[in-house]
Amino acid sequence: MDANKMLYPWGHTRRFNAYTDYIRKVFGGRVQKLSIDAGFSCPNRDGTLSTSGCIFCNSEAFSPSYCLPEKSVSQQLEEGIIFHKTRYRRNQGYLAYFQAYSNTHGNLHRLQQLYEEALHYPGVLGLVIGTRPDCVDEAKLDYLAHLSENRYVSIEYGIESCYNKTLNLIARGHTFDQAVWALEESRKRNLNTCAHFILGLPGESREMILEQSHIISQLPITTVKLHQLQVLKNTVLEKMYLMESSKFKLYELEEYIDLVTDFVEKLNPGIVVERFTAEVPQRFLVAPDWGLLRTDQILERIEKRLEEKDTWQGKKQRIL
């Protein structure tokens, strides 16, 4: 059979289990995420664990301009809808994306108020909640499981690496075991989960990065977000990079495409891939500079490389 026409296990002919198709299956059409900054902090910044943050983090770089914590959740949703309406006219609805910092790092009562305000907003079909694995507990997960009986709920865990040595080096303040616990407890409650990983963290060889694909494949994850290591301005990583750039392996675009296509061919085909790369405004970026290519243009090149290699997600999955 012509591999270009092959129907893969996820039910379409793209060579990876794409998030856009997953969303279409779940909601029957296009759904837009609307970012919200609800004024949370994170234990790595507010002094609970540390005040200096993860070495790569510049949270400003990831927040759209309409997200300001001074505005209510409803106001941010309203402005987000107006912002996206002119671009995407065929939306089925919206997902309220609690994105900035750790959005379960607060008491349960406060979380309930914020999430329920979002779910009551017209057109909002569900919640996507970005957080850290050590910022959930059984009571919070039970509450989210209760919400998910009627609405879509996904918890997006920043995990970043499967190696404790790396997590220590990047000052995450949690272990990989804590991430596994959070994912397993979420799965027990039928919650959707997204796991976020950075490929190319300091100290990780190409082999170590690729081995993570096998480890991730065993985890109870609905979707995964992958992105290249970027050195951003005003971060500890920037200082480290400027002092000893020779010790850093930052992936250039072509090398990264090669890496991420090798990564995805080892990945469990049941895991949906939300994204392969990150994009930040140029003003925040120190390195690597991939030029002005948009995410969709890079995705096209990744799909082309999968075709050239005649490979696809899960082709080399390790079966235990």
* Strands 285-287, 272-275: pairing kind: unpaired
- Give the CB-side neighbour count of residue 200, counting CA atoms within 13 A: 26
Q: 196 forms bridges with which residues in the sheet?
A: 158, 225
Question: Taking CB under 6 A as the rule, does residue 314 contact ligand SF4?
Answer: no
Question: Taking CB under 6 A as the rule, does residue 198 contact ligand SF4?
Answer: no
CA distance 201 to 209: 9
Question: Taking CB under 6 A as the rule, does residue 63 contact ligand SF4?
Answer: no
Q: Which stretch binds ligand SF4 (CB under 6 A): 39-47, 76-84, 88-96, 227-235?
A: 39-47
Q: Which is nearer to ligand SF4, 54 or 114 (CB)?
A: 54
Q: Which is nearer to ligand SF4, 10 or 40 (CB)?
A: 40
Question: Taking CB under 6 A as the rule, does residue 158 contact ligand SF4?
Answer: yes
CB of 52 to ligand SF4, least distance (A): 8
Q: Which is nearer to ligand SF4, 53 or 314 (CB)?
A: 53
Q: Which is nearer to ligand SF4, 119 or 169 (CB)?
A: 169
- What region, left, alpha or beta, does residue 47 occupy, with left being phi > 0 and alpha being psi -120 to 50 degrees? left
Which tokens in the block code for residue 122?
Answer: 């017209």
- Sign of the torsion formed by the C-alpha atoms of 178, 182, 183 and 188: positive
Cβ pair 265, 316 in contact under 8 A: yes
Question: Taking CB under 6 A as the rule, does residue 132 contact ligand SF4?
Answer: yes
Question: Taking CB under 6 A as the rule, does residue 15 contact ligand SF4?
Answer: no
CB of 264 to ligand SF4, least distance (A): 24
CB of 178 to ligand SF4, least distance (A): 12
Q: Which is nearer to ligand SF4, 53 or 200 (CB)?
A: 53
- Sign of the torsion formed by the C-alpha atoms of 94, 100, 106 and 110: negative
Question: Taking CB under 6 A as the rule, does residue 54 contact ligand SF4?
Answer: yes
CB-CB neighbours of 26 under 10 Å: 15
DSSP character at residue 18: B
Question: Taking CB under 6 A as the rule, does residue 45 contact ligand SF4?
Answer: yes
Question: Taking CB under 6 A as the rule, does residue 66 contact ligand SF4?
Answer: no
CA distance 276 to 228: 8
Question: Taking CB under 6 A as the rule, does residue 178 contact ligand SF4?
Answer: no
Q: Which of 18, 31, 36, 57 touches ligand SF4 (CB under 6 A)?
A: 57
CB of 315 to ligand SF4, least distance (A): 32
CA distance 59 to 237: 14
Which tokens in the block code for residue 174?
Answer: 């949690």
Report CA dihedral (223, 295, 42, 54) to the nearest 10 degrees.
Answer: 110
CB-CB neighbours of 70 under 10 Å: 8
Q: Which of 10, 37, 53, 167 touches ligand SF4 (CB under 6 A)?
A: 53
Q: Which of 42, 198, 199, 237 touches ligand SF4 (CB under 6 A)?
A: 42
Residue ranges in contact with ligand SF4 by CB under 6 A: 42, 44-45, 53-54, 57, 59, 101-102, 132, 158
